[in-house]
A and B are shown apart, each in its own frame.
Chain A
Amino acid sequence: MADQVKLFGMWASPYSRRVELALKLKGIPYEYIEEDLSNKSCLLLKYNPVHQKIPVLVHNGKPVAESLVILEYIDETWTNNPVLPQDPYDRAMARFWAKFIDEKILITTRKVSLASGKEQEQAIEEITEQLKLLENELKGKEYFSGHNIGFLDIVANFLVFWFGNVQEVLGIDMFSEEKFPVIFEWIQKLVKIDVVNECRIPKEKHLDYIRTRVEAFKSSTK
């Protein structure tokens, strides 16, 4: 019986895009289902009752939720082109920085987007520190994973398209080639990879989307 793979995702979500990138890197055919987050489908709620969030991968009818969990599942189930390193120490490092991205950088990005004044300034300082720590992991390497793109590059994919768009809408300068030359060099390499481009978030649509969300939040907190 052929494998049946479905991905419930959302076009603007960096978590969703990273799963798509992993599937494409492995050459795994899948059916993509776009979720309207303001009106979640019954299927999504059935497949992820605990968090009711995307992305959810459904493999032969069985759901897997949480993007980092999904990435490890994909790597363990389709063992061609492994994305996690072989060495246990390197794997631990990759997992550590992936979690750092999700628990620190992406959370702080949200703070930056929704805060203003001093609070926003503080959040920008935090994120600068966090990005510097992440950049250190890239020094002396072609990709986070070494000579080829791998797990941490996939998780850090939000820096390639998504992050710059957020910055543009907010009109702040926290992420530039000047400040993060090593990350920017890495971005230049990533955009040359076909499957990375296939997961590109459409820019204008994304800028509108972010603008709408930020405005909605600001008006709801007045």
Chain B
Amino acid sequence: MERSDEKVKVVGTWSSQFVMRARIALNIKSVSYEFHQERLWEGKSELLLRSNPAQKKVPVLIHGGKPICESFNIVEYVDEVWSSAPSILPSDPKERATARFLAAYLDEKWFPSMRTVGYPQGEDARKAAIAQLEKGLVLLEEAFVNYSKGKSFFGGDQIGYLDIAFGSYLGWLRVAEKMSEIKLLSEAKTPRLLQWADSFSSHAAVKDVMPDTEKLADFGVRAKILKATATPKL
């Protein structure tokens, strides 16, 4: 059997931006997969613990019985296994490096600020977080202008790696905007990204996996309460 014909399963949750990345990548390649939804408030499933014992986190892509973990790893794996068009990563090594760099930046620096804006811990922290977010958005607006070359996506005509990396945060971005009543994406500061956000959200590969803002906001509140009241690990 061809590797690309083997059975595909995704272990994840509807709310996770990381899981969304895996699903969008598979959708872009028109790969059918079984989605195993983790029960959010009931502890991690046997399947998850077995397939990602090191991190115990979603998403996990299980392909032909073999697990692949970490969202960007999964996206690259999907791009390499189902290598016929459309490509997810750009072909030029320098563009690939920039895409990977910005993706890592989004996860490590940018998103933590988003959490602070959505569920703030004091005014100073909120202001600093907003500044960090806006700085990142300026970077991304610039990247969009450079890489889209006048087309609708970071990837040009097609959704690419950076679209997936940043687009998967749109759910939380909208929650943060709603909770804080500020516009992070705006006509004045990020006109191209504002337009891109609509194109991305309505894309066939994305629309069914983009979480509803209200539902996500509620989930965020619940998750925060749960975390705050959890018994610390001894």
Binding site for B on A (CB under 8 A): 50-51, 59, 62, 64-66, 68-70, 72-73, 76-77, 88-89, 91-92, 95-96, 99-100, 133
Is B97 in contact with A69, judged by CB distance below 8 angstroms? Answer: yes
**Closest chain B residue to A137 by CB distance?**
B54
A-B contact count (CB 8 A): 60
CA distance A66 to B81 in the complex (A): 26
Can you list 7 residue pairs at the A/B interface with Cβ under 8 Å? Answer: A66-B101, A69-B97, A70-B97, A76-B96, A89-B68, A89-B77, A95-B76
Majority secondary structure of chain B interface residues (helix, strand, loop or mixed): helix
The answer to whether the Cβ of B50 comes within 8 Å of any Cβ in the partner chain is no
Asked if A64 meets B94 with Cβ closer than 8 Å, knowing A69-B101, A89-B66, A133-B54, the reply is: yes
Is B97 in contact with A64, judged by CB distance below 8 angstroms? Answer: yes
CA distance A99 to B73 in the complex (A): 10
B122 contacts across to A, CB distance below 8 A: none
Is A100 in contact with B66, judged by CB distance below 8 angstroms? Answer: no
Known A51-B109, A69-B104, A72-B100; further 7 A-B contacts with Cβ < 8 A: A50-B139, A59-B94, A62-B94, A64-B94, A73-B94, A89-B66, A91-B80
A59 contacts across to B, CB distance below 8 A: 94
CA distance A96 to B109 in the complex (A): 20
The answer to whether the Cβ of B70 comes within 8 Å of any Cβ in the partner chain is yes
A69 contacts across to B, CB distance below 8 A: 97, 100-101, 104
The answer to whether the Cβ of B209 comes within 8 Å of any Cβ in the partner chain is no
The answer to whether the Cβ of B43 comes within 8 Å of any Cβ in the partner chain is no
Find B93's partner among A76, A89, A96, A133 (CB 8 Å cutoff).
A76
The answer to whether the Cβ of B69 comes within 8 Å of any Cβ in the partner chain is yes
A70 to chain B, nearest CB (A): 8
A54 to chain B, nearest CB (A): 14
B101 contacts across to A, CB distance below 8 A: 50, 64-66, 69
**Closest chain A residue to B63 by CB distance?**
A89
The answer to whether the Cβ of B35 comes within 8 Å of any Cβ in the partner chain is no
Is B77 in contact with A92, judged by CB distance below 8 angstroms? Answer: yes
Is A50 in contact with B68, judged by CB distance below 8 angstroms? Answer: no
B residues 48-74 in Cβ contact with A at 8 Å: 54-55, 63, 66, 68-70, 73-74
B91 to chain A, nearest CB (A): 10
